[in-house]
Chain A
Amino acid sequence: MRVGILSFAHVHAEGYVGNLRAARGVELVGFGDDDAARGARFAEAYGLRHLGDRDALLAEGLDAVLVCSENARHREDVEACAQMGVHVLCEKPIATSLADAEAMRSACEAAGVTFMTAFPMRFDASVRAIKDALDAGELGALYAVNGVNHSEIPKGHRAWFADRSLAGGGAVMDHTVHLTDLLRWMTGAEVEEVYAEVGNPFYPDDVDVDTAGLVTVGLSNGVFAAIDCSWSRPTTYPRWGHLKMDLVGERGALALDAFAQVLTARSPRLPRTPTWIGWGADPNQAMVEAFLDAVRDGRSPPVSWRDGYEALRVALACYASADSGQPVRWTHG
């Protein structure tokens, strides 16, 4: 299978290089990026062919593309891939507006190509163990979840994450979607209520997007959950941040700290002291392989366009709630 990466705008593109190289039956053809300097830098860093812009990449006759451009450019990129009959694994959030997300679905459906949303945490071993425990009834009925996906500001890696026109927002846009997706996936229920406090307490002089968000969601089955999506870790933190869920239910609680498997390292040669060096399994590997398997076998992908859409809807509802100072509610027909 011939696969390419479309843009190194998103930091995850860097990890995907290794994931694609490790996947069986994949020829990583190269990548497209209309930023020549960025293209040259990552071609050098990863020994990967920078084929030019998007059209140059798609001219290679690919089977599948990993879309890693800025959030606001996903639509045009996905539409271009679909037009060329190329299957898509798309970074999250899948777009910056519901209209763009709808257009992406239409384009992929019309072309008969697979669209999968990149929600890697569904493929994390610990997250899966929690899902299995819930499914096996270990917790009894699930009542509530206290979720944390706070991090440092990603601006140091890529400036556009804190650029409203390209990212669609800040911390809320960046981090609400992961836990929203896990909540939907674990419960099989839909979010129907969102309340959010949103602000920019951390970098008011540097960025004009939100850097803090405390989100409460209500699901259609009565479960309620908090999501802390803030960029509240200092850039001196031992790692980018955390993904944690405390799940409270009929029989007690399950506490997940998905990235607890680390070495604590101290050295003047490391960028941070201490540095947490992860040694857990890379969920991106399993996610990328699941995408490739779905394409290869002509099956529907394990994370759908709908999953990306519903998560985006929650992120956008956070801003609406913050604007009104009240919860936003809707129903799933």
Chain B
Amino acid sequence: MRVGIVGAGSMGRVHAVGWRATGAELVGVMSDPFSSAEALAAAHGVRAFDDLDALIAEVDVVDLCVPTDLHHPMTLRAAAAGRHVVCEKPIALRLDHAREMIDACERVGVRLFVAQVLRFFPQYRAAAEAVRAGHLGELGVLRFRRVAYPPHQGQASWFLDESRSGGMLCDLMVHDFDYARSIAGEVTRVYARSLRGNDPDAARDYALVTLRFASGAMALVEGGWAYPPGVFRTGFDLAGRDGLIEWDSDGSETIRRYLLPTGSSGAAAVGLPLTVFAEDPYTTEIKHVHAALRDGTPFDVTPQDATEALRIALAARASLREGRAVDPAEVA
């Protein structure tokens, strides 16, 4: 299996490490600017490409680690060439684009995997397994936290441009929307308040989103690009009729560093909620994709799941715009 990565930012880098841990052949990296493709390609001893079609021509799998607005056109191009597609989350910026991506892949018989990586984080997996095993009984109130610092890249990051990333709700909170739906089922009502909802020009964003599920369960999802550089807090609290699971990143660090300051904050351009893992969850994810493509087995996350997670995020954005609770089914 020959793989090409498109995009050499923070996700391109972690996906490259992931592919190198599989039996697949990482053929090369394409990016704009070309210099970042060269740097990532050199790090892995593979080829750098400056043309998408040239990369597509050389591979079986195209792994899109590009800004979200490029997911739709690039997926269509890769699918038209008969290539499997791995695509970073969120699947797209619009539901019709997501459907077109799914249709395009189905039409030519290639597979589409959307990298909702949270499903591969071991603490989230363990909690999902506990829920499915029935340890909590019927779910009641779920709480999720994902608050980091604003992405920065010297100049303005594309993440902060809502027309490219969908904003914090689509880019960051979509992780928890997908995960919440994966354990609690379909969402029937979404209500949101956010900093950018109050002030579209706010330098940072922070949102509190309430979800109601068809089952009667409810969730409070907290998300933000709001903390100082380097700070990233995540957590969940799952309360059911018969039990409770609590986890938060504040309380489960195996290593705490109390070191003299080195002068700079040293924060990465984009925060990742990583800790000491037996295996990097991004690598777990890529291994899963590789095995599923190799063996023809199902993906743990379907593109339909990713589309529904986007639908919840778009419903939250509609709630912000309209100041009311929104049924995700209303979102076109």
Contact = CB atoms under 8 A, between A and B. Distances in A.
A222 B202 CA distance: 13
A253 interface: yes
B244 A226 contact: no
Interface in A192-224: 195, 197, 199, 201-204, 211-212, 214, 216, 218, 222, 224
A143 B231 CA distance: 18
B216 A143 contact: no
B290 interface: no
Contacts of A144: 193, 195, 206, 208
B118 to A, nearest CB: 19
Given A216-B208, A234-B243, A325-B325, A248 B193 contact: no
A124 interface: no
A232 B206 contact: no
Contacts of A199: 140, 216, 218
B247 to A, nearest CB: 15
A192 to B, nearest CB: 12
Interface string B248-284: 0000000000000000000000000000000000000
B145 to A, nearest CB: 8
A197 to B, nearest CB: 4
A251 B198 CA distance: 18
A248 B143 contact: no
B227 A252 contact: yes
A327 interface: yes
B210 A202 contact: no
Interface in B173-217: 189, 191, 193-195, 198, 206, 208, 210, 212, 216-217
B189 A146 contact: no
Contact of A216 (B145, B206, B210, B231): B210
A212 B140 contact: yes
A228 interface: yes
B152 to A, nearest CB: 15
A143 B140 contact: no
Contacts of A326: 324-325
A217 to B, nearest CB: 9
A147 B325 CA distance: 20
Nearest to A204: B241
Given A233-B244, A325-B189, A253 B220 contact: no
A13 to B, nearest CB: 29
Contacts of A203: 241
A216 B192 CA distance: 8
B140 to A, nearest CB: 3
B134 interface: no
Interface centre among B138, B193, B194, B325 (most CB of A within 10 A): B193
Interface in A135-156: 143-144, 146, 148, 150
B225 to A, nearest CB: 11
A228 B217 contact: no
Interface string A303-332: 000000000000000000000011100000
B222 A212 contact: no
Contacts of A226: 208, 210, 220, 222
A123 interface: no
A285 interface: no
A197 B218 contact: yes
B210 A201 contact: no
Given A212-B140, A226-B220, A325-B325, A201 B189 contact: no
Contact of A195 (B210, B222, B226): B210
A216 B241 contact: no
B141 A228 contact: yes
A117 interface: no
Interface string A71-108: 00000000000000000000000000000000000000
Contacts of B198: 143, 222, 224
A211 B140 contact: yes
A160 interface: no
Contacts of A204: 241
Interface of B: 138-141, 143, 145, 147, 189, 191, 193-195, 198, 206, 208, 210, 212, 216-220, 222, 224, 226-228, 231, 237, 239-241, 243-244, 323-325
Given A146-B220, A216-B191, A226-B210, 11 more contacts: A144-B195, A144-B208, A201-B141, A201-B241, A214-B141, A225-B208, A232-B239, A233-B239, A246-B222, A248-B147, A252-B228
29 contacts: A144-B193, A144-B208, A146-B145, A146-B208, A146-B220, A148-B143, A197-B191, A199-B216, A201-B139, A201-B217, A201-B218, A202-B241, A204-B241, A211-B140, A214-B141, A224-B208, A225-B208, A226-B210, A228-B141, A230-B140, A232-B141, A233-B244, A248-B195, A252-B226, A252-B228, A252-B231, A253-B147, A326-B325, A327-B191
